[in-house]
């Protein structure tokens, strides 16, 4: 694919049809910031909880209203092409999910240029390890991992993590990968790689699509459901990557499914999680509560 076309395919805002590209980006940040401000004002929470020793290794936990001994943990990794975004503007789904008895965790990680891809993958993996150790009473309720865009890539890497070296195997009960990239090789030829400084070796090592055949020693149980989601107005390359990743998951024995959500793009597919009646919000709740 010519470099110019690759640049277009991997520029999600250029595929938004409801508004101009720059406005779509601004709106996304605005809605995320407003949702986070509201969540912090209206929900019980623990903010900036360190899950490691690094300055950027923090997470926010938002608790359900009902005081119970155990609740499902919904863990969210934000997007932003591994170089933008923050947990402080990513609590889109907190109010609808906590209202239904789900605890929501929004994880920060060191974005580029401070953080390398290897570091980001290690950080999000350790955040899950921390949560399993911090809330062992949730063992029978489970952890559900969700990521958007670059965060979906990180969530997919968590799916393939080698847990034995971390000394704990988290009770992962479901993965939701939203509008992600699972083979990083095409990014090498785009402007998105400028702050990442990603080499072909980095791309190979951190492409979950290329490592599915090599099952880790103690992976997530293959019966754990993995839902790969893409928006109707995501680019053809995002559609291709999502379909191929889902197909490869199935081929090697994972319980994976693919869903294209109609009438949404790369941004409002997540913005709409502020609404309990949203299609994706309902999918999340049905996945957690096995309805």
Name the helix (H) or strand (E) containing 172: strand 172-178
pLDDT tens per residue across span 192-218: 999 999 999 999 999 999 988 655 444
Residue 121 has pLDDT above 90, yes or no: yes
203: which 2 tokens? 């791309």
**Domains in the chain: how many in total?**
1
The pLDDT score that the predictor gives to residue 43 is 96
Residue pair 146/76 in contact by the 8 Å Cβ criterion: yes
Catalytic residue among 88, 122, 234, 268: 234
What average pLDDT does range 54-72 have in this prediction? 89
What average pLDDT does range 59-86 have in this prediction? 92
DSSP sequence for 104-166: EEEE----TTTS-HHHHHHHHHHHHHHHHHH-GGGTTT-EEEEEETHHHHHHHHHHT--GGGG
CATH of the domain at 52: 3.40.50.1820
Residue 234 has pLDDT above 60, yes or no: yes
Provide long-range contacts, Cβ within 8 A and 24+ apart, for 23-29: 24/265, 24/267, 25/267, 27/267, 27/271, 28/267, 28/270, 28/271, 29/89
Catalytic residue among 149, 179, 235, 242: 149
Residue 100 has pLDDT above 50, yes or no: yes
- Give the 3-state DSSP-derived string for 189-228, with helices as H, strands as E and coil as C: HCHHHCCCCCCHHHHHHCCHHHCCCCCCCCCCCCCCEEEE
Residue pair 155/147 in contact by the 8 Å Cβ criterion: yes
pLDDT tens per residue across span 138-149: 666 899 999 999
Rounded alpha-carbon distances, angstroms, from residue 278 to 30, 72, 97, 269: 19, 20, 12, 9
Higher pLDDT, 159 or 140: 159
The pLDDT score that the predictor gives to residue 141 is 84
What average pLDDT does range 167-183 have in this prediction? 95
Residue 105 has pLDDT above 90, yes or no: yes
Phi, psi (deg, nearest 5) at residue 150: -60, -35
Phi, psi (deg, nearest 5) at residue 49: -75, 125
Q: What percent of the chain has pLDDT over 70?
A: 94
Place 35 in a pLDDT band, splitting at 50, 70 and 90: very high
- Please state at what angle helix 150-159 crosses helix 117-134, rounded to 10 degrees: 60
Residue 1 has pLDDT above 90, yes or no: no
The pLDDT score that the predictor gives to residue 218 is 43
Rounded CA separation 67/178 (Å) = 30
Rounded CA separation 139/46 (Å) = 20
239: which 2 tokens? 């559609």
Higher pLDDT, 213 or 125: 125
pLDDT tens per residue across span 242-273: 999 999 999 988 899 999 999 999 999 999 99
Rounded CA separation 146/155 (Å) = 6
Rounded alpha-carbon distances, angstroms, from residue 16 to 81, 98, 265: 17, 30, 6
Of the candidates 81, 85, 79, which has an alpha carbon nearest to the alpha carbon of residue 146? 79
Of the candidate ranges 43-52, 124-133, 206-215, 261-270, the one whose mean pLDDT is the lowest: 206-215
148: which 2 tokens? 């958007």
The pLDDT score that the predictor gives to residue 140 is 66
Show the domain range for 44.
3-289
Of the candidates 291, 226, 282, 290, which has an alpha carbon nearest to the alpha carbon of residue 258? 226
Question: If 0-12 CB within 10 Å is exposed, 13-18 middle and 19+ buried, where does residue 181 land?
Answer: buried
What average pLDDT does range 157-182 have in this prediction? 93
What average pLDDT does range 9-33 have in this prediction? 98
Q: Is 233 a catalytic residue?
A: no
pLDDT tens per residue across span 271-286: 999 999 999 999 999 9
Q: Is 149 a catalytic residue?
A: yes
Catalytic residue among 183, 266, 268, 278: 266
Q: Is the peptide bond before 113 cis (omega within 30 degrees of 0)?
A: yes
- Predicted TM-score (pTM) of the model is 0.96
Q: Is 268 a catalytic residue?
A: no
The pLDDT score that the predictor gives to residue 67 is 67
Rounded CA separation 145/116 (Å) = 21
């Amino acid at each position: 694919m010519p470099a110019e076309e690759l640049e277009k395919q991997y520029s999600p805002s250029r595929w938004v049809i409801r508004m101009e590209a720059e406005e779509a980006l601004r709106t996304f940040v605005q809605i995320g910031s407003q949702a986070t401000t509201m969540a912090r004002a209206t929900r019980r929470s623990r903010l900036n909880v360190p899950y490691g020793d690094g300055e950027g290794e923090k997470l926010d936990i938002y608790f359900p209203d009902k005081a119970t001994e155990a609740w499902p943990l919904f863990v969210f990794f934000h997007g932003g092409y591994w170089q933008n975004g923050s947990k402080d503007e990513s609590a889109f789904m907190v109010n609808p999910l906590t209202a239904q008895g789900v605890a929501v965790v929004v994880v920060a990680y060191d974005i580029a240029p401070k953080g390398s891809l290897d570091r980001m993958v290690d950080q999000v993996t350790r955040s899950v390890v921390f949560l399993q150790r911090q809330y062992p009473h949730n063992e029978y309720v489970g952890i559900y991992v969700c990521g958007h865009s670059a965060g979906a890539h990180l969530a997919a890497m968590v799916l393939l993590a080698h847990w034995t070296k971390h000394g704990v195997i988290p009770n992962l009960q479901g993965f939701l990968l939203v509008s992600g990239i699972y083979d990083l090789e095409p990014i090498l030829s785009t402007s998105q790689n400028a702050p990442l400084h990603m080499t072909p070796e980095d791309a190979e090592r951190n492409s979950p699509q290329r490592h599915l055949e090599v099952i880790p020693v103690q992976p997530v149980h293959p019966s754990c459901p993995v839902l790969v989601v893409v928006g109707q107005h995501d680019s053809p390359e995002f559609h291709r990557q999502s379909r191929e990743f889902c197909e490869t998951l199935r081929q090697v024995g994972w319980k994976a499914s693919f869903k294209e959500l109609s009438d949404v793009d790369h941004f409002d597919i997540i913005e709409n999680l502020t609404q309990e009646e949203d299609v994706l919000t309902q999918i999340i709740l049905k996945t957690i509560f096995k309805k």
